[in-house]
Amino acid sequence: MPKTETDEETERELKPATARDYARRIARVVDHIAAHLDDPLDIATLAETACFSPFHFHRIYRTQTGETVAHTVRRYRLHRAAADLVAGRLPLARVARRAGYGSAEAFSRAFAGHYGMAPAAFRDMPRDPVLEFPKRGESAMTEKLDVTIETRDGLRLAGLPHQGPYIEIGRAFEKTFAHAGAAGLFRPGMRMIGLYYDDPKSVAERELRSFASVTVPAGADPAALAPLEVRDLPGGRYAIAIHKGPYADLHLTWDRLFSAWLPQSGEEAEDRPAVEEYLNNPRDTPQADLRTAVCLALKG
């Protein structure tokens, strides 16, 4: 029987609804993976979490996210391992076990393949920013931080809030991407933006507030983007530094911006969230090649 015009209209209405439902189900899987990194994450359990057939789940997940389940789990565990190494509280063997590796040697090979250096070298990298101000005629650590001041237009953002350690915001970004794909937001010029509302040195980690988002057209209807929240990022003057390398070290660039550049700049920070714009994709970019624009709103 040929399709009627009403049938075609119904199909057009169902397709976006189905896409949004898939996004919600993939978001549940992302939550489950992030919350159970220390547990076996078998396909049957993840498929049940998403209410998908185990037979087809792997293919659905890959086509919806752009990577396999195994890739996601490995990436999450190595990212947590990098945070463990930066914190320096756990021995290397324990970090390796938490990352799912039976030996330090296997972990070291996997970590080096992802981060470009052995875990011991990554842990031992000097990370304490020099807080002394430069003497007359010297630039000290500011010469390592290339800061530009730009006037930027405002942006409309759609995303999901995250509460907890900033290093774990990737979980919110994964869910944001799932819903953004279902809403048809992946288009040329879309940007990935993180907003950070609290000082991690003065607010308990579990209470830190952030927002994982992508840009949307200025006239986008918030109701059509649910469950994504829509927030507006004001335009204005921003001090911008480009952080090169793993996200686990982003706090170093922020520390240098606040401790060395800002006091000498003659500028005053505006009372707005800290902004990070992620300039390439962590799923397919070597960690050493990641680029992040660290953006501090300025008065005036």
Give the per-residue pLDDT at 79: 93
Work out the pLDDT band at 88, boundaries 50, 70, 90.
Answer: confident
Distance CA 246, CA 37 (A): 20
CATH class of the domain comprising 140-297:
alpha beta
Assess whether the region 71-124 and the region 140-297 belong to the same CATH fold.
no
Collapsing DSSP to helix, strand or coil, 16 comes out as helix
| pLDDT tens track for 260-272 | 899 889 999 999 9
CA atoms within 13 A on the CB side of 86: 16
Closest CA to 120 of 154, 97, 86: 86
| pLDDT tens track for 217-251 | 888 889 889 999 999 999 999 999 999 999 999 99
Work out the pLDDT band at 253, boundaries 50, 70, 90.
Answer: very high
Give the per-residue pLDDT at 215: 97
Ordered by start, the domain boundaries in the chain are: 5-66, 71-124, 140-297
CB 230 within 8 A of CB 157: yes
State yes or no: pLDDT of 4 exceeds 60: no
Phi, psi of 94 (to 5 degrees): -70, -40
CATH class of the domain comprising 71-124:
mainly alpha
As given in the structure block, the two tokens for residue 226 are 């649910």
